[in-house]
Amino acid sequence: MSKDKIKFTDKIKNSLKPKNILEKIKDMVLMNQVYWSKIITAFLAGLIFGVTHFARWPAGLTMLLIFLTISSVWMLLYRKKEPGIKIRAYFTSAMFQYFVTFVAIWTILFNMTGGVPPSNWF
């Protein structure tokens, strides 16, 4: 095996150790540190734009696209002011929170309106 493959496999093994996983969970950004105004704005803009312009399932995808756009613009604006590692860690954990929020809201909304879109595709 080449040195790169060995380093890569060692990195994977180390990241899967329970001790390292617990450290990563402790270092994650808390929900109260996320800009909730950004989530609410993205949700409302995506909901209004998506529902008025598309059928049901593209509305949900539009909401996700607006989440990603707002977060990416935020990252590009602030990445020069904070250390690179810190901003990347914040961005990835915040994006995970946005994704979970998006899936939860999307599922609730479309269950209330008559079905989750993937169930209608088949």
pLDDT averaged over the chain?
Answer: 65
Residue 15 lies in a domain: yes
Q: Judge if 9 and 55 occupy the same domain.
A: no
Residue 6's pLDDT band, with cuts at 50, 70 and 90, is confident
Does 47 lie in the same domain as 101? Answer: yes
pLDDT above 60 (res 120): no
Maximum average pLDDT range among 7-11, 53-57, 69-73, 88-92: 7-11
Q: In terms of domains, do 61 and 17 share one? A: no
**Do 1 and 56 share a domain, yes or no?**
no
Amino acid letter, 74: W
Q: Residue 23: give the domain boundaries.
A: 1-30
pLDDT confidence of 20, banded at 50, 70, 90? confident
Number of domains in the chain: 2
pLDDT value, residue 107: 66
CB 70 within 8 A of CB 42: yes
The reported pLDDT for the residue numbered 10 is 80
Stretch 11-34: mean pLDDT? 68
Q: Are residues 17 and 39 in the same domain?
A: no
Tell whether 48 and 107 lie within a shared domain.
yes
Is there a domain that residue 18 lies in?
yes
Is residue 21 domain-shared with residue 77, that is, in the same domain?
no
